[in-house]
Structures are given as structure tokens and as C-alpha cells.
Chain A
Amino acid sequence: MRNLWNLLVQYHIALVFVIFQGIALTWFVGSHGYPRGKWVQRSLEWQGEWDQRISQWDRLTELDDLNRELLAENATLRAELHTARGDGIQSNYQGAEVIRSTWSSASNQLVLNKGTAQGVQPGQGLLQNNRVVGRVVEASTNYALALPLINASVEWSVRIGSTGPVARLAWEGGDVTRAMVYDVPRSATFGAGDSILTSGFQGYFPSGLLIGTVADEAPEFDGQFLNVPVDLAADFRSIRYVQIASPQGQSEIEGLTNTNDQQSP
């Protein structure tokens, strides 16, 4: 026992280092990409308030008010458009301001100035001028944390053109204007400039919203599938206002899915 104690005393620096690294790496692995838990919410709340104060310093008030009005009006009009078009899944929209945005790391994120008090919930989609931006993953009372398309840890269900095959889109890091659509059947016909649209399968967005266009670059062959480079439609460097889409009937659909899961043998 005494020898063990002596050993610990002798190597206490290495031991403390290993303990701290263990804590840090566990924290990193557990929270990177999909932060969860109360502390994240508190931290988000505090950060959100602070960032909003900072951004207020250099805000041009009149232009800002005008932007908000336009954003709200745009949201209402978009919801009416979906109703008029008779889309399968209707969505409600509301405007929000992006008070923090990163685009230089592999796990980029956005913080919005609306939270659960305004009806924002995890799983809702974000749009910038009708172009897909990302989705909400965490919401505190007045702020929300969202993962954009340019986050390497998230994948998105997309369709090539309005009637093309469904595939998955992921961002590989680096260029924020470019992503890749994987698992496209080799039989699919498409060309440079064709639209990449939401499939609506994930429930974050209605179907048919623009994500990007097929880049003017040869697709990569991957066995029976193609990997197609895509130019993203949203401009992540200049993003400031977004619309939050909340497709109607999501809870009903999830209820049905859960019932089916429970009844499965």
C-alpha cells in the first residue's frame, strides 16, 4: 500500500494529466456534434443573451425592424403558398435572426434568437429565402441551437429533381459551398444544374425545397452507386435571417410510426 502511495506521489503529474485528458475526451466524444443536457441549455441561454447584446451595438434599428416585418410577412406568405398548392404536408413558418454562425470548423452551428417560448422545437427545419439551411437540435426558452448543412456529422435525405431518386447528402468539411450526394443509383439521369430538393422523409421540411444544384463536375463511381457533387444554394457566410419550418401533423406521424414499432414482432 505504501509502495502504491509512493508511486502515485512520484507520478502525480502524469496521473493528473491522464485524468484531465480522460474528462476532456469523454466530454468531447459525448457532446461533439449533438450537444445535449441542461448545462448546454443554460450555456446557450447565457451565450444567446450576451451575443444579442453585442449584436445590438452595431444594429441599424430601422433596417432591422423592416427586416423583421418582411421576415414575418414572408413566413405567412410561404405558409399560404403551401396551402394554395395543396402540398401533402403543410408547414407553418416563422422568422428568426441568426445571432451566431460558424462556418470554419467541421462541426459548424447556428444560434437563433427564438426558443421554446416562441414555439421552436428540436427537429424543425431552417430556410434562407426558400433554400434549406439546417435544422434545430436544441432549444432553450428564448434561443435555439441549429446544425447547418455544413456540419460534417449530419446527413440529409434529398431527391434529385422533383421525380428523381432519393439519396443522402452530407458535407465533407472544407468548402462551405459544396456538399456530396451519396448512394445515387447509376441508372439515375441528371445533369449539371439540376435541382437537389428535400425528400420530406426526415420530417424536418416539406418535400421539394431547394438544397442546391448538381455541380458541373463528374460524379464519382462507388460500386453500384454514384457520389454526386452539389453546389449548396444557401449562402452560409452571409446568413442573418432564417425561417423556421414546422411541418404540420409531425406528432401524428411520429405517433403512427411509434405504434407500428411497438406492434412489430
Chain B
Amino acid sequence: MNNQVLTYARVIIPLGLHVLFFQYAAFAAGWWFIGLHLLGLLLMPLQSSPLLLLLVAAGFGSIVDAATFEGGLFMSSAVLMALATPAINRLLAPREGYEVTDQPTLSSMGVQWFAIRCLLLLTIHHLWMFGLEAGRWDLIPRAIGKALTSSFLSTGAFVLILLLTRRQRSAR
């Protein structure tokens, strides 16, 4: 498959799966929310401009909001995550910087890099989302607990999904 098509597919397919099948995928009495559309945002190319990240995040968030009647909750959280993405990318950049061919995937950057980046960005997203959803100060400790639990478990799930779906290199 053409690499560019693959890049678009990696971003779009998780959103499609989330909207059609997993929009209420919350487990452990709501303590684990898995937002598959976030995997699409995490897999946006490393060279994407901050403006493009914000636009795509706003689009993804609003689509999920429209599908789940959450009215701006996912859009707001996704936009915040997109704003933080370039900073996190710089923080985790190799000493010599990213190669042009580097992709934010397990096969390109390794499990450790992907897991740390995923955990940091999901934590930012989930803290904002659960905090907004709580809506009351007395529910904030619970929201933080949910955000951290969801971030850790979703990171594990995303790593697993990418491990199971990564392309095998053809033998020469």
C-alpha cells in the first residue's frame, strides 16, 4: 500500500471505529475510557504543522461529540492535546532530531518512545476531559483518578493494538 494512503488510513480508521462501534467503550464502571479516535491523533505524522494538528483534533473531537451528544467535551480535550503534541514531540526527540522518514509508530520509534508519548498526551487529554465532565469541585479527585487510570490502561491498549496490527517486514 502506498505510504501516504497508509498514513491517512492510520489516522482515519481509529476515528471511524470509535464513532461506529466504540463510542461508549468505558469499562470498570467508567474508570477506563478508551477513546480510539485519540489513537488516530497520536498517529498524525511527526512533521505535521501545529495548525494542522489543531484543525484535525477539532474535527475529530466535534465528530465524536456529535455522535455521542457530549456537546464539545471531546473537541475541547482533543484540541488541548493537539496543542501539547509539538511540545511533547520536542521533549522526546532523539539527540540528533527526527529523521524525515520517522513516523510516530511502534515500528518506527520503538515501544518505549511510543508508550511515553502516548501516556503523556493521553493524561493531558483525560485530565481535561474528566475534569470538565465532573463539573463540580468535589468530583475532581475522582476525575483525576479516572484520568490517570484511563491513561495508563489506554496506553497499554494502544501499544497492544499497534503490536498486533503492525506490518511484517518482507524477507529479502
Q: Which among A23-31, A180-188, A202-210, A219-227 touches the partner chain?
A: A23-31
Task: Tell me the minimal C-beta distance from A204 to chain B in angstroms.
Answer: 21
| Contact (Cβ within 8 A) A13 B54 | yes
Closest to A50 in B: B20
Let me know if A109 is at the binding interface, CB within 8 A.
Answer: yes
| Contact (Cβ within 8 A) A24 B75 | yes
Q: Which among B6-14, B59-67, B117-125, B158-166 touches the partner chain?
A: B59-67
Closest to A35 in B: B69
Within 8 A of B (CB), among A37-87: 39-40, 43-44, 47, 50, 54
Let me know if B156 is at the binding interface, CB within 8 A.
Answer: no
Among B62, B72, B75, B139, the one with the most A-chain Cβ atoms within 10 Å of its Cβ is B72
A35 and B73 CA atoms in complex are apart in Å by: 13
Whether A47 touches B67, Cβ cut-off 8 Å, given contacts A17-B54, A20-B58, is yes
Q: Which residue of A16, A40, A103 is within 8 Å of B51 (Cβ)?
A: A16
Which residues of the other chain, A, contact B76 by a CB distance below 8 angstroms?
20-21, 24-25, 28
Which residues of the other chain, A, contact B26 by a CB distance below 8 angstroms?
102, 104-105
Whether A17 touches B24, Cβ cut-off 8 Å, given contacts A27-B72, A43-B69, is no
Whether A20 touches B75, Cβ cut-off 8 Å, given contacts A47-B67, A105-B133, is yes
Contact with A along B134-148 (1 / 0, CB 8 A): 111001001000000
Whether A106 touches B139, Cβ cut-off 8 Å, given contacts A13-B50, A25-B76, is yes
Let me know if B38 is at the binding interface, CB within 8 A.
Answer: no
Whether A152 touches B67, Cβ cut-off 8 Å, given contacts A21-B76, A28-B72, is no
Task: Tell me the minimal C-beta distance from B27 to chain A in angstroms.
Answer: 9
| Contact (Cβ within 8 A) A20 B51 | no
| Contact (Cβ within 8 A) A27 B51 | no
A102 and B83 CA atoms in complex are apart in Å by: 30
| Contact (Cβ within 8 A) A104 B71 | no
B interface bracket (residues with beta carbon within 8 Å of A): 20 to 34
Let me know if B29 is at the binding interface, CB within 8 A.
Answer: yes
A106 and B29 CA atoms in complex are apart in Å by: 12
A100 and B21 CA atoms in complex are apart in Å by: 12
Let me know if B79 is at the binding interface, CB within 8 A.
Answer: yes
Among B61, B67, B71, the one with the most A-chain Cβ atoms within 10 Å of its Cβ is B71
A199 and B72 CA atoms in complex are apart in Å by: 35
Per the CB 8 Å criterion, the residue count for chain A at the interface is 36
A225 and B94 CA atoms in complex are apart in Å by: 63
| Contact (Cβ within 8 A) B54 A40 | no
Which residues of the other chain, B, contact A44 by a CB distance below 8 angstroms?
69
Which residues of the other chain, B, contact A102 by a CB distance below 8 angstroms?
24, 26
Closest to B66 in A: A43
Task: Tell me the minimal C-beta distance from B140 to chain A in angstroms.
Answer: 11
| Contact (Cβ within 8 A) B73 A109 | no
| A residues lining the B interface (CB < 8 Å) | 12-13, 16-17, 20-21, 23-32, 35, 39-40, 43-44, 47, 50, 54, 100, 102-107, 109, 145, 152, 173-174
26 A-B pairs with CB atoms under 8 Å apart are A13-B51, A13-B54, A17-B54, A20-B57, A21-B80, A24-B62, A25-B72, A26-B72, A27-B75, A28-B71, A28-B132, A29-B72, A31-B71, A32-B71, A35-B69, A39-B66, A43-B66, A54-B21, A100-B24, A102-B26, A104-B29, A105-B133, A106-B134, A106-B135, A173-B136, A173-B139
With A24-B65, A105-B133, A106-B133 given, can you name 8 additional A-B contacts, CB distance below 8 Å? A20-B57, A20-B75, A25-B76, A32-B71, A44-B69, A173-B134, A173-B136, A173-B139
| B residues lining the A interface (CB < 8 Å) | 20-21, 24, 26, 29-30, 50-51, 54-55, 57-58, 61-62, 65-67, 69-73, 75-76, 79-80, 83, 132-136, 139, 142
